[in-house]
Structure 1
Amino acid sequence: MSQPASSPEVENFWVLARRQAKLERLPAYFGPSGLVSLPPPAWSFGATQEQADELAGLVVDGVKTATASAAEDYAAEGVPLPEPGTLGIVLDGAGHPRALVATTEVAVVAFDRVDAEHAHAEGEGDRTLATWRHRHETFFREVDPHGRGFRPDMPVVLERFRVLHPKPPKR
C-alpha cells in the first residue's frame, strides 16, 4: 500500500502507458482530463525487494491478476479502499515501473473466507488455497505496521485487476 515518491522514470512510464492503454481518447479540444493529467499512485507488492520483483514479474507475465491486503491497514493509514477503475503503477523491487493496472473488482471478506478462485488468481506458488493461506498468514503476521495482529476472521481486501500496459524488464 505504501506509495513511493514519483520519479522521472515513473512519470515517463505514465506518459507512454496511458497512450498505449488508449486512455487519451477525448478530442484535444476538450483539454486533458484528470484521468490522464495526474499519474496514478505507484507502489510495489510484498514487503521486500525480492517479493516486489517476483510479484511484478507475475503481473507482467499475466499470471497475477489479483491481490489481497489487510483492510485494517487502509483504515489505519487513512487511505480509501480501491474501487473498480482505480489505476496504479506496479513497481519492481528497485522502484522501476513494470505495469499500469486497473482495478476491476473489490471485495472485503474474512481471511478464512477467501476462496480457491482468488488464491489461483494471485498467481503465487502452486496457486492453491492452502499455499495462499500459508503465505498470506505468514505475511500478515510478519508485516504488521499498525499492530493489527493476525486473526482467521480478519477482514481482507480482495482486489482483481487487469494489466493495461506491461513493461518487460530490460535484458
Structure 2
Amino acid sequence: MLDAFTAIPAAVIWNLVDKLYEKRKNAALEVEGIVKQLTVAGDHDKIIVVIKLLVHEFAYSSQANHRKGGLIGLAAATVGLSLEASQHLEKNPRGAERLAPGVVEPESDFYLHRLWGKPSEDLTIKPKYLVTFTVGYEQKEIINKAVKKVGYLYSVLICDNYNSFTYNWSIGVLNVQTFKYC
C-alpha cells in the first residue's frame, strides 16, 4: 500500500493545517493541482490515498485547524477530479450501515417525499428550510403554536423520545413526525 504522506508533500500538509486561512487556501490549491496531475496520469490508487488522508487524518480530527484544512483540501480534490469525482465517492457513507435498506435512504435532498398516496397531492412549492424541534410531552401546546406559525417555505420535523405510556422520557424510543403545509 502507498504511504499516505508521500502522495502530498510535507510542506503542503504543514500549510493545510496552519491557523492562517491564506496558507490553508494555497495548500488546497496545491492539492487540487496534485489531484489533477494524478487524474491525467490515471493513478487512481494515489488519488484514493490522498482522499483517505484528507478524510481520516484531517477532516475527522479533533483539532479545528486540521478539520478546516481537511475540508478545504477535500473540496480542492473534488475540483481537481472534476468529472471523475463520482467514482471516488464512498458507496456507503459513514453511519449508513445502520439504516434499514429500502426504508431509510443514506442520502437525501431533505425534501419530504411520499410513502403512499397520489403524486397529485404533492406540494407545488418545495420548502427551502428545515426546522427541527426536539420536544417533550409537556411542551405540546407551545410546539403546536410554533408549527402553525411557520409557512410553506419550511419543512417541519419534530423529534421526541416520549413513549406515550408514561410521562418519563424513554431512551429506547424515538418518535419522528413530519408535517407538510400548502
Fold match, TM over 0.5? no
Report which of the two structures shows the higher radius of gyration computed on alpha carbons: 2
**Which structure carries more helix by proportion?**
2
Give the TM-score, by structure 1 length.
Answer: 0.23
Q: RCO higher in 1 or 2 (8 Å CA, sep ≥ 6)? A: 1
Give the TM-score, by structure 2 length.
Answer: 0.22
**Which structure carries more strand by proportion?**
1
